[in-house]
Amino acid sequence: MTENWTVIHFVRHGEVFNPGNIYYGRLMGFPLSHLGREKLSCTKDYFQQNSIAAIYRSPQLRTQQTAEIIKENQPSGSIFTTDLLNEVHSPYDGRPLDELKAIDFDVYTGSSREFEQPNDVLSRGLAFIRGICTGHISQEVIAVTHGDLIAFIRLWAEKKECTPANKADIYKNSLNYGSITTLTFEPKPSAQLIDWKYVDPTIDN
């Protein structure tokens, strides 16, 4: 990493234990599965040589457990919780996964105003990025969060429209559990995005 850059590693949490096969969303509980924990050892090892200033996570149990696993190799990086990284607020929490699969996990179209739309989720993500670029100038942080938020940030980085269809395309190509989407920014005051990349340390492990 170039010394003056600010780097944010967005990590999708590990696979979740979900025997009821429901869309858990913001429901309480839902820890990592055994396989999820195993595969996250690869994600943890990916950061072994990185100097991480802090680890941020959403309020969900699955991101807490993911962050704690990653922190095993980052003893100096404290863990902080922020609602900006939370799962999408949608009307589908608790519904059968088969119902979500039938609509390609589009939890946005037709939802009432009390629930989030893609640009609402992106706005949260960009607010988090602004806070990191201000509070962690020229440092490297990890953000453990959820798939849709990472997908919309990725679309923003690619200068593509934040739509459910474009989000679905990213899931098809690259957004596995434990994967990492890294964004690199010039330091303040510009905080311009200069690069992004996707890696999946869990593949074949």
Q: Spell out the domain ranges in the chain.
A: 6-199
CB 61 within 8 A of CB 36: no
Token readout for 36 is 């999820």
Among the ranges given (26-30, 61-65, 171-175), the one the predictor scored with the smallest mean pLDDT:
171-175
- For the segment 25-53, the average pLDDT, to the nearest whole number, is 95
pLDDT(204) > 70: no
- For the segment 43-51, the average pLDDT, to the nearest whole number, is 93
Tell me what percent of the residues of the chain surpass a pLDDT of 70.
98
pLDDT for res 1: 46
Q: What count of other Cβ atoms lies within 10 Å of the Cβ of residue 155?
A: 19
**Distance between CA atoms of residues 32 and 28, nearest Å:** 13
Tell me what percent of the residues of the chain surpass a pLDDT of 90.
89
What digits encode the pLDDT tens for the residues 138-148? Answer: 999 999 999 99
pLDDT(2) > 70: no
Q: Which CATH superfamily is domain 6-199 in?
A: Phosphoglycerate mutase-like (3.40.50.1240)
pLDDT(190) > 80: no
Beta bridge partners of 144: 11, 57
pLDDT(99) > 80: yes
What predicted TM-score, i.e. pTM, was given to this entire model? Answer: 0.95
